[in-house]
């Protein structure tokens, strides 16, 4: 009897017993992509450094694609000063240029470090706000071209943790005005006049809840969405109303695409479609939220995938480091990936019409995530001048039911199918009706060609589970699945 398994279309599921896992799911899907080519598990690509290291041993605290006018854009990054002056620095980079400091920002931000800096495009300027646990609210500023100002369009502008453009105004959430904190308040600018905006703090604000601080701002469906940790409100410049008792843990997890808005909290990842009541889509990977620290999560949305960074977390007894969860929108599936570096922020960058994922880390670097469509693919992490760190990838597929449970089966051979499979190694384990438990994994061997055949030496069973792993820097492999020659071995006694 020939038994086949070529289905990996349902992604990862850590939240169900191995004996109840649906066909096509995986217990582990780390560094493997089942969505780029449907029907194949493809090893993830690596990332390379964008220009040079900005500051050694200093975290990237802000990262933003400043699109000033069509055809004029640059990447902005903020980082602590390396000289120990407790300052926050601002750097910019064009597509072909190197990281260059904008010195005026450091003068404004003298004495402020470890600040989460938020930025927003509006009327040809980039506007800056931010906050740190120790130094408090960052002095505001604006940038056009490479010209910094702490006055142009920001006179009387409150400090804030969050900033968002909605319609024809800028909105600031969780604010500080003249030294008084208003964690529940949203201030807004004037409508632009003659290319400029003003701020009237005495009247231009709305309050959402005096007992909860604002934790994030979003914009979609022609509405401003204001989040606290426990609730969400919408505002249309005329009416404010509470819409959901579902909050957001971190502003940097809020991402939108078309009719979709995503965000994360302690209960998972929430998705609202066209402003409808949110649905929790993280059930298959909920253990990453139960065991993680949602207040530190951040995300980006690119190429129809929502990428949520959850850092170091232990799931089902396995410790994962520098981990990102990836939700593929078209297939509605999850997977994850461990990075070599500890990331601190994600951002999109428009490179000649193609969106790229830039990633800031805790060592003053910004990395460019490689894509399968790139002319020159990157097969390692931390890639600088062509060399880098090998990528670890492993998967553990759902157990396969081998048929009638009234008798044990013996697997004679397993035929594995893969493309460019150098380095990928498979292993397997079985379960029978009497033991009711999975055995230890047994090595099968390394895949070296399109079809690799392995003889199997094991006791009979009625369920079989296959796993694979590889650590290296070879071109990415594609694993299509496997087929087994199965024969009856013995009856099972009840």
Task: Tell whether the model's pLDDT for residue 91 goes beyond 50.
Answer: yes
Q: Which residues contact 293 (CB under 8 A, 6 or more apart)?
A: 311
pLDDT, one tens digit per residue, over 356-366 is 999 999 999 99
**Chain mean pLDDT for the chain:** 92
Closest CA to 139 of 127, 124, 147: 127
Residue with tokens 């002095």: 139
Task: Tell whether the model's pLDDT for residue 82 goes beyond 90.
Answer: no
Lowest mean pLDDT among 128-137, 244-253, 293-302, 425-434: 425-434
Q: Using 50, 70 and 90 to split pLDDT, how confident is the model at 351?
A: confident
- SS3 string, 8-57, reads CCCCECCCCCHHHCCCCCEEEEECEECCCCCCCEEECCCEEECCCCCCCC
pLDDT, one tens digit per residue, over 159-182 is 999 999 999 999 999 999 999 999
- SS3 string, 61-89, reads EEEEEEEEECCEEEEEEEEECCCCCCCEE
Task: Tell whether the model's pLDDT for residue 43 goes beyond 50.
Answer: yes
Task: Tell whether the model's pLDDT for residue 440 goes beyond 70.
Answer: yes
Helix, coil or strand: residue 154 = coil
Q: Is 195 left (phi over 0), alpha (psi -120 to 50) or beta?
A: left
Task: Tell whether the model's pLDDT for residue 461 goes beyond 60.
Answer: yes
The arithmetic mean of pLDDT across residues 382-392, rounded, is: 94
H/E stretch holding 470 reads strand 463-472
The fourth-level CATH superfamily of domain 47-385 is YVTN repeat-like/Quinoprotein amine dehydrogenase (2.130.10.10)
Q: What stretches of 55-204 adopt beta strand conformation (E)?
A: 60-69, 72-80, 88-93, 100-101, 116-122, 125-132, 136-137, 141-144, 147-149, 159-166, 169-177, 180-188
Look at residue 8 in the predicted model and tell me its pLDDT.
Answer: 85
The arithmetic mean of pLDDT across residues 112-139, rounded, is: 97
Q: Which residues contact 126 (CB under 8 A, 6 or more apart)?
A: 64, 66, 68, 76, 119, 120, 142, 143, 144
Q: What's the number of CA atoms in the CB half-sphere (13 Å) around residue 435? A: 14
Q: Are 31 and 394 in contact (CB under 8 A)?
A: yes
Q: Using 50, 70 and 90 to split pLDDT, how confident is the model at 434?
A: low
pLDDT, one tens digit per residue, over 220-229 is 999 999 999 9
The arithmetic mean of pLDDT across residues 40-62, rounded, is: 97
Task: Tell whether the model's pLDDT for residue 265 goes beyond 90.
Answer: yes
Task: Tell whether the model's pLDDT for residue 463 goes beyond 70.
Answer: yes
The arithmetic mean of pLDDT across residues 453-457, rounded, is: 82
pLDDT, one tens digit per residue, over 301-349 is 999 999 999 999 999 999 999 999 999 999 999 999 999 999 999 999 9
Q: Using 50, 70 and 90 to split pLDDT, how confident is the model at 465?
A: confident
Look at residue 352 in the predicted model and tell me its pLDDT.
Answer: 81
Can you tell me the distance from the alpha carbon of 389 to that of 261, in angstroms, rounded to the nearest whole number? 35
Can you tell me the distance from the alpha carbon of 253 to that of 248, in angstroms, rounded to the nearest whole number? 8
pLDDT, one tens digit per residue, over 471-480 is 999 999 999 9
The arithmetic mean of pLDDT across residues 184-196, rounded, is: 97
**For 14-17, which contacts have Cβ atoms below 8 Å and span 24 or more sequence positions?**
14/284, 14/285, 14/286, 14/287, 14/288, 14/315, 14/316, 15/283, 15/284, 15/285, 15/286, 15/287
For a pLDDT cut of 70, what percent of the chain falls above it? 93
CATH 2.60.120 maps onto the chain at 2-45+394-491
**What DSSP character marks residue 227?**
E
Helix, coil or strand: residue 220 = strand
CATH 2.130.10.10 maps onto the chain at 47-385
Look at residue 493 in the predicted model and tell me its pLDDT.
Answer: 46
For a pLDDT cut of 90, what percent of the chain falls above it? 78
Look at residue 301 in the predicted model and tell me its pLDDT.
Answer: 98
Residue with tokens 């039911």: 401
Q: What CATH class does 2-45+394-491 carry?
A: mainly beta
Task: Tell whether the model's pLDDT for residue 367 goes beyond 70.
Answer: yes
The arithmetic mean of pLDDT across residues 145-159, rounded, is: 97
């Amino acid at each position: 009897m020939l038994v086949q398994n070529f289905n990996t279309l349902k992604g990862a599921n850590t939240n169900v017993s191995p004996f109840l896992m649906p066909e096509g799911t995986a217990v582990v899907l780390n560094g493997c992509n089942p969505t780029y080519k449907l029907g194949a598990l493809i090893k993830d690509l690596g990332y390379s450094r964008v220009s040079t290291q900005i500051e050694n041993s200093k975290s990237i605290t802000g990262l933003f694609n400043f699109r000033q006018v069509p055809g004029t854009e640059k990447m902005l990054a903020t980082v602590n000063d390396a000289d120990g002056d407790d300052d926050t620095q601002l750097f910019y980079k064009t597509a072909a240029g190197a990281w260059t400091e904008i010195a005026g920002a450091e003068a404004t931000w003298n004495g402020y470090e470890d600040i989460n800096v938020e930025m927003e495009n509006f009327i040809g300027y980039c506007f800056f706000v931010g906050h740190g646990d120790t130094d408090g609210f960052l002095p505001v500023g604006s940038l056009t071209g490479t010209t910094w100002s702490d006055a142009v369009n920001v006179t009387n502008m409150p400090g804030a943790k969050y900033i968002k453009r909605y319609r024809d105004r800028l909105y600031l959430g969780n604010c500080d005005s003249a030294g008084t904190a208003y964690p529940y308040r949203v201030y807004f600018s004037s409508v632009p006049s003659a290319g400029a905006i003003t701020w009237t703090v005495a009247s231009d604000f709305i309050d959402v809840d005096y007992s909860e601080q604002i934790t994030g701002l979003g914009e979609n469906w022609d509405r401003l969405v204001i989040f606290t940790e426990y609730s969400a409100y919408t505002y249309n410049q005329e009416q404010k109303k509470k819409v959901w008792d579902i909050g957001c843990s971190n502003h940097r997890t809020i991402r939108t695409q078309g009719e979709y808005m995503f965000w994360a909290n302690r209960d998972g990842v929430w998705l609202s479609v066209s402003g409808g009541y949110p649905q929790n889509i993280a059930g298959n990977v909920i253990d990453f939220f139960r065991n993680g620290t949602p207040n530190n999560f951040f995300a980006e949305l690119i190429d129809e995938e929502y990428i949520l960074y959850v850092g170091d977390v232990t799931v089902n007894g396995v410790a994962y480091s520098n981990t990102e969860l990836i939700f593929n929108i078209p297939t509605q599936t999850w997977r994850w990936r461990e990075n070599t570096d500890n990331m601190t922020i994600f951002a999109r960058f428009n490179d000649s019409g193609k969106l790229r994922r830039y990633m800031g880390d805790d060592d003053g670097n910004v990395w460019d995530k490689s894509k399968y469509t790139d002319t020159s693919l990157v097969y390692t992490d931390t890639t600088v001048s062509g060399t880098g760190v090998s990528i670890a990838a492993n998967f553990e597929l759902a157990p396969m039911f081998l048929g009638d449970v009234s008798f044990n089966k013996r697997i004679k051979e397993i035929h594995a199918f893969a493309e460019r499979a150098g380095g990928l190694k498979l292993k397997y384990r079985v379960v029978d009706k009497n033991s009711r438990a999975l055995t230890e994994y047994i090595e099968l061997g390394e895949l070296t060609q399109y079809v690799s055949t392995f003889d199997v030496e094991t006791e009979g069973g009625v369920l079989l589970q296959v796993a694979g792993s590889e650590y290296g820097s070879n071109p990415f492999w594609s694993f299509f699945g496997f087929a087994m020659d199965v024969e009856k071995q013995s009856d099972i006694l009840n």
